[in-house]
Amino acid sequence: MQVGVLALQGAFREHSKMIEKNGEKAVEIRLPVELDRVSALVIPGGESTTISKLMVEYAFPERIKEFAASGRPVFGTCAGMIVLAGNQDGRRQDLLGLIDIDVKRNAYGRQVASREVDLEIETLGGEPFRAVFIRAPIIEKLGPGVIPLARYLDKVVMARQENIIVTAFHPELTGDPRIHRYFLNMAGEWEKNPFAFRRPQAHSA
């Protein structure tokens, strides 16, 4: 399976390594046309303003919306979660708006600005997941179609809506492949059945 990692800015190499560690082929995506080659897409952490600006410059937003509307899974971590969210810092966001959550940037404050914690993530089973937070965004609100998958300090830090998943933390940095495996399994389901997560057009706008 070929899995794309948006390689405009941020921690894309670490995601590629994690995908390869799970035995799949990672493809760094720098142009929208390269999305045609992949079954799923990771939008990495980094600096969300820079990533958004570059996405617009390279005409990615419409293509990523189409990509998601086709049912292919998209995974956003940290800054990647910010660009996928429907609302940022109290404002409606049209850039992608592919998951019905409200996010607030850099919202954990100084003490929690960068820290490692163990999260219980039921869907993964087994051991707690070691999660790295780096100037992480907070998910302030989840729409009715969004399923919470993990919590930290009373906030949801991992969530899923159909074929879109997000984490406020960086699962590519701790060597535990399970969250990437979970995502790659979604991509596998899509490959078997492209209608597995197909979303009504209205939701993908």
Q: How far apart are CA 190 and CA 131, in angstroms?
A: 27
User: Considering only residues 66-95, where is the footprint of ligand GLN by CB under 6 A?
Assistant: 78-79, 82
> Looking at the DSSP assignment, which residues form a beta bridge with residue 201?
none
Q: Is 4 in the site for ligand GLN (CB under 6 A)?
A: no
72 in helix, strand or coil? coil
Whether 34 sits among the annotated catalytic residues: the reply is no
Q: Shortest Cβ distance from residue 47 to ligand GLN (Å)? A: 5
Q: Which residues pair with 134 in a beta bridge?
A: 114
Q: Which of 131, 182, 205 is nearest to 3 (CA)?
A: 182
Residues 26, 28, 34, 39: is their CA dihedral positive or negative? positive
List 4, 45, 86, 97, residue binding ligand GLN (CB under 6 A): 45
CB of 193 to ligand GLN, least distance (A): 32
Q: Is 104 in the site for ligand GLN (CB under 6 A)?
A: no
Per CB under 6 A, residues contacting ligand GLN are 45-48, 78-79, 82, 105-106, 134-135
Residues labelled as active-site residues: 78, 170, 172
